[in-house]
Amino acid sequence: MDLLPPKPAQVVSAANNVAHKLLYGGLADLRPMPRTLIDDGELREVYHYRPAAGTTESGNPVLMVTPLAAPALCFDLRRGCSLVEHFVTQGRPTYLVEYGQVSFRNRTLGMEHWVDEVLPQAVRAVSEHAGGRPVHLVGWSLGGIFSLLTAADQPDLPIASLSVVGSPVDVRKVPLVAPVRPLLNLNFTERGGLVTRGYQALGGAPKPLVNWAFQLASVQKMVTKPLAIATHLDDTEFLAQLEAVDRFSSNMIAYPGRAFGQLYHRMVKGNALAAGSMTFADRTIQLSAIKAPVLVFGGATDGIAPIGAVRAVVPLLTGSPEVRFEIVPGGHLGMLTGRAARTSTWLVMDEWIDQWSAATAPTKAPTKKAGTKKAAAKKAAAKKAPAKKAAARKQAPDRAAIGSNPSRRYGSAGSRSLGR
């Protein structure tokens, strides 16, 4: 529908949608994909999504990494716009790590907890559960930052590839932060500024504050939302997506105090990661130490993590065998799980994961029955491996770069493949 007189079919659709909303509570199918807990610890819950009916899991597993403060609904927003559902129906072994509810007692946990404990343990648990296969990490927002830092700090982890979605590395290029940056370094007392004293007193950033901040980042959409609903009353998919996003926004989670302090001082104020490293008490993690291939996504209309802030990571990944940057439609959440993501972001992920999935069987310890013939075959395969890798690298430039596929429905003029 639009501001012009609606057509009869539009009026009927609009009436059906309004009736369904009033009588049944909504239009969106919000059923979560079935899953099973396979590993847990302090602020760590690792789930395996059950295979879809009639499908058999095959290939390397995918582990989706949730950011702090956001619910895992970001990966399973609603049926039809769920990255989890997309992977599961393809038969990919699909996993997710989330952190449960953060409380005041978790206030002493810093980012090291996720880089040292949560993510490495999740990767190992997923690899073991999937038969020893290497793991493809898919991290959204801060989940992408955690994935990068973990892969750089522990390059021996069984990581097949990284997909980093909407993760701002150069915070100076975030418009929401730029106007207030000069004020962040002002201390109004000897004990520090108002923000520092506030999160220390509260033990972090509580859930209501996180909800408010997320809504503030989308203030323009909030203002225009009533008009958007009025002009799309006949569009069931549009209204269903709004319902799912509203549910996501109302389920934000608190930040632990120390982790919030590190994010505020090191990333927002200090913009440390833009230089390619993050310093903790006992070490400095260099992004150049990442040995896995990395796919980076920027959202065309993302105001929280604009393209420039995300693309800044590309030249820092000098140790990666291949780095690719892709611009896809959508804002911060939409680029991951919006309606357009089904024909853009998800297709790129599929190609990337297929490209970097190992063709060999899962790594297992040899049994006593394995004779000399098998041992000799393994040695021969090991000798051939470098030649195969070299051949693959030579052929890489001849392949069509992700983002140049003319069959896609979205523009990729700003995208580029950075094969090394």
pTM, two decimals, is: 0.75
CA–CA separation, 406 vs 335, rounded Å? 20
The domain tally of the chain equals 2
The residue from 222, 246, 270 where one domain ends is: 246
Mean pLDDT for 275-291 is 94
The residue ranking higher by pLDDT, 120 or 214, is 120
Same structural domain, 279 and 413: yes
Does the residue 80 lie in any domain? yes
Same structural domain, 131 and 185: yes
Q: Which residues contact 321 (CB under 8 A, 6 or more apart)?
A: 291, 292, 293, 393, 420
Does the residue 316 lie in any domain? yes
Same structural domain, 221 and 316: no
- Please determine, for residue 199, whether its predicted confidence score (pLDDT) is greater than 60: no
Does the residue 394 lie in any domain? no
Contact 191, 184 (CB under 8 A): no
- Please determine, for residue 75, whether its predicted confidence score (pLDDT) is greater than 60: yes
**Helix ranges restricted to H, 36-113:** 83-89, 111-112
Q: What secondary structure, in 3-state letters, does 160-184 show? A: EEEEEECCCCCHHHCCCCHHHHHHH
Same structural domain, 283 and 169: yes
Same structural domain, 53 and 174: yes
Residue with tokens 């950033």: 205
Domain residues for 9? 1-17+210-246
- Asked which of 67-81, 168-182, 267-281 is least confident by mean pLDDT, the reply is 168-182
CA–CA separation, 115 vs 350, rounded Å? 26
- Asked which of 21-25, 152-156, 270-274 is least confident by mean pLDDT, the reply is 21-25
Mean pLDDT for 47-60 is 93
What tens digit of pLDDT does each residue of 241-266 get? Answer: 989 998 998 888 877 778 888 888 88
Tell me what pLDDT residue 403 has. Answer: 46
On average, the pLDDT of the chain sits at 78
Tell me what pLDDT residue 84 has. Answer: 98
Tell me what pLDDT residue 407 has. Answer: 44
The residue ranking higher by pLDDT, 117 or 261, is 117
Most confidently modeled range among 223-227, 257-261, 300-304, 397-401: 300-304
CA–CA separation, 332 vs 165, rounded Å? 9
- Please determine, for residue 53, whether its predicted confidence score (pLDDT) is greater than 60: yes
Tell me what pLDDT residue 282 has. Answer: 84
Q: Name residue 137's amino acid.
A: L
Confidence of residue 70 (pLDDT cuts 50, 70, 90): confident
Q: Cα separations (Å) of 296 from 36, 139, 234, 316, 358?
A: 29, 10, 36, 12, 20
DSSP string, 98-131: E-----GGGTT--HHIIIIIIHHHHHHHHHHHTT
CA–CA separation, 111 vs 273, rounded Å? 13
What tens digit of pLDDT does each residue of 327-354 get? Answer: 999 999 999 999 999 999 999 999 999 9
Does the residue 140 lie in any domain? yes
Does the residue 22 lie in any domain? no
CATH number of the domain within which 342 lies: 3.40.50.1820
Same structural domain, 307 and 337: yes
* Closest-CA residue to 181 (of 252, 264, 239, 111): 264
Same structural domain, 120 and 240: no
Bridge partner list, 284: 279
Confidence of residue 38 (pLDDT cuts 50, 70, 90): very high
Length of the chain: 420
Q: Cα separations (Å) of 217 from 126, 178, 220, 307, 326?
A: 34, 13, 8, 16, 23
Same structural domain, 261 and 330: yes
CA–CA separation, 412 vs 186, rounded Å? 42
What's the sign of the alpha-carbon dihedral 127, 131, 132, 137?
A: negative
Same structural domain, 240 and 278: no
Same structural domain, 274 and 339: yes
Does the residue 24 lie in any domain? no
Q: Which residues contact 38 (CB under 8 A, 6 or more apart)?
A: 46, 47, 48, 95, 125, 126, 129
Mean pLDDT for 108-123 is 94
Same structural domain, 268 and 407: yes
Does the residue 374 lie in any domain? no
Tell me what pLDDT residue 186 has. Answer: 46
Does the residue 318 lie in any domain? yes
Contact 292, 162 (CB under 8 A): yes
Confidence of residue 146 (pLDDT cuts 50, 70, 90): very high
* Closest-CA residue to 295 (of 167, 163, 140): 163
Confidence of residue 26 (pLDDT cuts 50, 70, 90): confident
Tell me what pLDDT residue 281 has. Answer: 83
- Please determine, for residue 371, whether its predicted confidence score (pLDDT) is greater than 70: no
Tell me what pLDDT residue 404 has. Answer: 39
Q: Name residue 219's amino acid.
A: V
Residue with tokens 């490293």: 277
Tell me what pLDDT residue 225 has. Answer: 61
Confidence of residue 177 (pLDDT cuts 50, 70, 90): low
Confidence of residue 208 (pLDDT cuts 50, 70, 90): low
Same structural domain, 144 and 79: yes
What tens digit of pLDDT does each residue of 95-108 get? Answer: 999 998 877 787 78
The residue from 197, 227, 246 where one domain ends is: 246
Q: For 309, how many CA atoms within 13 A lie in the half-sphere containing its CB?
A: 30
The residue ranking higher by pLDDT, 110 or 1, is 110
Q: Name residue 345's amino acid.
A: T
Confidence of residue 419 (pLDDT cuts 50, 70, 90): very low
Q: What token pair was written down for 11?
A: 């009026």
The residue from 189, 219, 246 where one domain ends is: 246
| Radius of gyration of the chain measured on its C-alpha atoms | 23
Q: What token pair was written down for 292?
A: 């896995």
Confidence of residue 418 (pLDDT cuts 50, 70, 90): very low
Quote the distance between the C-alpha of residue 254 and its chain's center: 18
